[in-house]
A and B are shown apart, each in its own frame.
Chain A
Amino acid sequence: MIRYMTKHYDKLLGLLAEHMWMSAAAVGIAFAIAFAAAMLMYRRKEFALPVNVLCNTVYAIPTLALFSILIPITGLGKTTAIVTMVLYNQFILTKSICSAFETIDQSVLEAADAIGLDGWQTYCSVKAPLALPLMLNGVKLALSSTVAGATLAALIGAGGLGELIFNGLSMKNYNQVAWGVVLSSLCAFAANHVMQWMEDRALDRIQG
């Protein structure tokens, strides 16, 4: 296994980087979309139900089925992989962003309003910092599942650590498979820890 690494370390590092940026991009884009959707649901309650139903439905579609729906539109490759991950993440992210804002203590918001903070000031100095820990918790969950799920991207030629696993399996190169498994697990583990650290720090600030 070590020999495999010394021989192919450039390939391993390349795939690892590809895996990481694909996951990060998917979660980043997903967060931006989910944030907008969550704000809409938070402001206008009538949007909450339809958005939730949509997210739940998409989440229930198996990955391979979703690939086959998307391939005719976005083709084989990274675009389809990223779009798929973005769609799945809506489920976790819209829920956590919504609840992050909904669980803010009402008396705090009432006071902010009553002492004369305007909407934007309340948003920046009260709502956002108080919602941050729960939002980061959502990002943590999204990132873990995305890093794991991103191995499937290799099936549609999008690269990433999944390539080691699937190619390794078909060529019976178990050293390669092992590296795929180890690296993608490490990657998920690291992402989880970084996010946990950020979440703890944000939480510390509001209730330490």
Chain B
Amino acid sequence: MSAKRVIGTAAVRVDGMAKVTGAAQYVDDMEFGPGLLHAVLVESPHAHALIRKIDTAAAEKAPGVVRVVTGKDIPYMFGLYMQDRNIFARDRVRFVGEQVAAVVAETPGAALRAAKLVKVTYAPLPAVLSLDEALKENAVLIHPDLGNYLRVPWFFPRPGTNIAHWRKTRKGDVEKGFRQADYILEDTYTVPRYAHCPIETHAVTGLFDLSGRLTLWASSQSPYAQRGVMAVALKPFGLSHRDIRIVTPYVGGGFGGKAGVSMEIIGAVLAIVMKGRPVKLNWTREQEFMNTSQRQGVIARIKMGVKKNGQIVALEHTLHWDAGASAEYGANVVNAVGLSATGPYRIPNVKIDSVCVYTNMPPCGAYRGFGYSEFHFGLESHMTRIAQAIGMDPVQFRKRNAIREGDTLAYGAHMNPGNLRGAIDRVAKEIRWGKKDKSAKPGKAVGKAVACFWKAPAMPPNAASAAYLKFNEDGSLNLCVSGMEIGQGFLTVMAQVAAEVLTVPVEKIRVETPDTDRNSYEWQTVGSHVTWGCGNAVRAAAEEVKARLLATVARAKFLKVEDLYLADECVKSRKDRKFALPFRSFVIDGIMRSNGNFIGGPIHGTGMFMPEFTSALGDPETSQGGHPNVHYTVGAAGIVLEVDKETGKMTVRKAVLAVDVGQAINPELVKGQIVGGLVQGLATALFEDIRYDANGRLLNPNFTDYKIPTTLDCPAEIIPIILETPQPDGPFGARGVGEHTMVACAPMVADAIDNAIGIRLKTMPLTAEKVALALRGIDYDSVKGDTLGFCFRGKPCDYRFEVGGH
């Protein structure tokens, strides 16, 4: 009776055939007929300015133009967690590239030509382009109305300042902890902004039909969150959830950049204005860099105290984040880090201040890792340095302090299962930690490192999932969910969960991308939570289907439910080994009794899931008392890095990553996440290098100047390792993985550089240029010129972490 397990097998991807044949449709592949209109935006050339006048007369008269829309027509704001983002700039612009107007025309060319004819008169304001400027007393305010914005109750903005949110976590007594310490290390680390760079840019087509129905076809990770945000923001148009439908076909990569809402709402309002005709808005690559969201830059001060025996006794971690012109999503990144910036370590005394700061740079938001990559750079670098200082092996030091199940987290809740120490051991063994490797090539040195990581989904406490599962006549099923297939293999994994319960082969379960009219609710596909959250909902739906299958057969055949079970797509009986009723024989048409009556009906089931144990209501001053995170996924990564002692050029010989996923529902897909995440993470560490000029203009919004990895930039060898300590509340024991695989990359590169050539870099990215300068004894910060990687100027060691002059 032990059926073939589908969980834990490398089931073939359900979207495979569509993707390799090119049948998979992305938003811009959809046809809307000759009535389709095209929109092009007019964007701000200033980082901060008042809008004096917008003259649209010439543009309106241009050939092919149907309409020009500005903030006067659409004076509304939107946001996921806080309404601080304008659909169109109104009285002022807050970053270079902000949308000021849109031209809607019959062809893209006509729209583009007319957009150049819109004349905007600006009165420039002083731009806030450094964190200390933003935080000083009497700073120029980017959001003078901050106090009036709608927001969730767990954000703590400070009206009258540029602080969008301040997450404080306090555990134990840090001062006492530092007094007990035998050694204290304090230093500053910086991480600039990064760009997601999905190969598909954002795209949306909207239609507001004559019945008053708004449909959007969007490239999005979050159809339901989009519907929700729009229902709030577009209420002045008389719209509510029932009037809005979001359809999300395949998405060409998201990485957090397509979470929440960004440009889609512009498409929505243009469609509303152009009632009756579909309007298309596609982001160019340049806009993809400048006006969706970027990863926030951060400067972090870490003070850590340890005992001689290697026990960490206190941690003070202060982070100032460059959120850009709006923080509607980014403030939640800051929040997540404010709760979890201890890293995966047991530390009795903790003080974390994570401060979200508005600046006049493009808005930031979710990016794979959600703040954890950023704080791990400093924290894990610090871990190695402090181990070195007390003469302890950095790997042993990490194991000594590694978090364990049941440990009290910084905010008072308790740690879930997870085998961090096992992960460290596996990685250390794989890179032969402790054995010095030499390079066969002259002038090169080899360094090794092991770094740990952890990450929890950052979700509101009521982030929920639902699933609907229905049988077809041939015994196949449709599974309707609204998690998004962003490449990770979500659809396949959900099919596996249902297949496992129902003993149906995965290929007989059709799972399509979402449509909010037809598919069940899903909060968002973010935080690496959908396998866990939506997987629980799918399992519940499958259990309901199973119960109906059994009950139907029991009733029709006068049998007992307890005697029946599912196997090989049949209902079978424990009492009669020959009894086997194939699903396809009755799941729609029912079962005929001898009197000609039919028993049954179309069999379907629904499931829902909400993490009912969570709460965001911790004390604002300490974060104690809530239970903001559902679980952490832990792991470790290791690297063997070759460094050229002349040029600084680095080659990754080997990268290893071990992660405890609870249960790999599809191990091959988990490996795909490990390899893809490592390559993306190593790129942020080694060469992705965003640059703004002194006026806040992005200098490299393209793949020539902002280099992402190609086939020639990969590690020579990648070893993925899966550990499985079951998550009790996960579907078949699974917990999230996806973002985690980037998180340890930067610190392990920094440590490996140090291990190879004795140079400690504390400013990301860790480019060959920086290494070469350091090899010549030149401090990068003194020669870096006036381009910026985020809102930070000067030397990190001089930054005071002051707020309002204190």
The yes or no verdict on A and B being binding partners is: no
Q: List chain B positions with a Cβ less than 8 A from chain A.
A: none
